[in-house]
Amino acid sequence: MSFDLSFAKPPVVVDTTLRDGSHAHRHQYTPEEARAIAQALDAAGIYALEVAHGDGLGGSSLQYGFSRVSELELIRAVREVVQRAKVAALLLPGIGTRKELKEAVEAGVQMVRIATQCTEADISEQHFGMAKEMGLLAVGFLMMSHMRPPEFLAEQALLMESYGADVVYIVDSAGAMLPEDAYLRVRALKEALKRAKVGFHAHNNLGLAIGNTLAALAAGADWVDGTLRGYGAGAGNAATEVLAAVLDKAGLNPGLEVFKLLDAAEYLVGPILHFQPYPDRDSVAIGYAGVYSTFLLHAKRIGKELGVDPLAILLELGRRQAVAGQEDWILRVALELKEKEAGALAD
């Protein structure tokens, strides 16, 4: 399938370095780091930037990883310096509650992105209601969208739209999509939704984050996401600075300062990277098996502690179709694999 960008339009670009990047940063952002990154993104013309624990508001925990400082402190730090960009936060129903959302709004959040498993849009109704009551721009995230066909996702998106979503995203949480997958899913939402805009959020586990984002734009996507240096879960996200350069060359630049973003990626994010996400062996396995990207570092850590190959853990999680919220499966699978290996050696 070929993709024609001649009918695409400049998208709204959201940077999630201070949220999705939190996974790779082990949730250790400082207010000083958040302030510097936010100020640079704002000056470069980013429409909105997302700030929260990697797993959304309220995510700082034993299961998901503790934050170095409160996400509310990071939100306040960011609001001190941004002049144009909207400040957004992610909320996963069941992790974040009304309490966390209210506190985030008081700290300065203007947009909330409400994320559910792509089969569970119905659990987001009250959260969208809360967002609209609070006067927020409300965005829906259909996570792990590779797991269901386009027509099913369109039905889920219509639910979010009926609850008040201003935008609904196809989210490639596992980085498992090929360009055709991204195109067909975005196209289905564009044809089905009556009012809400359509977004696309990419992960780079198969090295296709930029390509899939372009396919989404060819299908009519209105909003797209990126992170500086691709800093995010798994092999990371579409790199914001690369995306800006590509959009500019394609005549689709929405007003981004390409070289300011290149400088921010090089001189602000580069020096603080815990590591550079890229499609290494285990990240590719995530995209290949369709595993939630945030499982990567947990699988590596548990695999090292138990002497179990992370690749085997990830492939088994993919076979079991593990999704967000099932992080406890990682340890269970690793223990089962270790027991199975021990049994094989005993035989």
Residues assigned a catalytic role: 23
Q: Are the C-beta atoms of 44 and 261 separated by less than 8 Å?
A: yes
The beta strands (E) that lie in 9-77 are given as: 12-15, 48-50
Output the CA torsion 67→130→87→52 (10° steps).
10
Residues 6+ apart with CB under 8 A from 337: 308, 312, 313, 316
Does the annotation flag 201 for ligand binding? yes
Does the annotation flag 298 for ligand binding? no
Q: How far, CA to CA in Å, does 328 sit from each of 90, 95, 161, 246, 334?
A: 21, 15, 32, 39, 10
Residues 6+ apart with CB under 8 A from 108: 75, 76, 78, 79, 87
Does the annotation flag 6 for ligand binding? no
Whose tokens are 């550079």? That residue is: 276
Does the annotation flag 4 for ligand binding? no
Does the annotation flag 292 for ligand binding? yes
Does the annotation flag 173 for ligand binding? yes
Classify residue 10 by its DSSP letter: P
Give residue 57's region: left, alpha or beta (phi > 0; psi -120 to 50): beta
Query: Cα separation of 101 and 105, whole Å?
Result: 6
What's the length of the chain? Answer: 347
At how many degrees (to 10) do helices 281-289 and 295-306 cross? Answer: 120
End-to-end CA distance of the chain: 51
The annotated binding site for Mn(2+) is made up of 20, 201, 203
The annotated binding site is made up of 19-20, 173, 201, 203, 292
The annotated binding site for substrate is made up of 19-20, 173, 201, 292
